[in-house]
Structure 1
Amino acid sequence: MGTVLSALVVLAALTASGVLLVQLFVSESRRAKGAGDPARIPSPPVPAAPAPARP
């Protein structure tokens, strides 16, 4: 029983560290994308519906 519990604890620790590594990788890649173009101007919003046609 102790061996199974120990294996579960090790598995949980490895899973948690893997999740943290993935989060770090994602945040770093997002930060690197944003740092490449600091003066980016947002595009104008697209109207939700087209303007009605006038006769």
Structure 2
Amino acid sequence: MREVAGRTEAYWCPIKHAKKAAGAHEHYLGFVAYGDADAYRKRIAELEEAARKP
């Protein structure tokens, strides 16, 4: 269940929390920093591009 939640969050909301999250899943390390709008837009573009590939 933790893996499914981690992958879902990595796709739909790849942002680190403002405060450190306890027990974060392994995908959390690849999330963008809270408040970094430029990095967020770049990450979303990367995810959209990856979704288009077969």
Q: TM-score, normalised by structure 1?
A: 0.34
Which entry has the higher C-alpha Rg, 1 or 2?
1
Q: Which structure is higher in RCO with an 8 Å CA cutoff and minimum separation 6?
A: 2
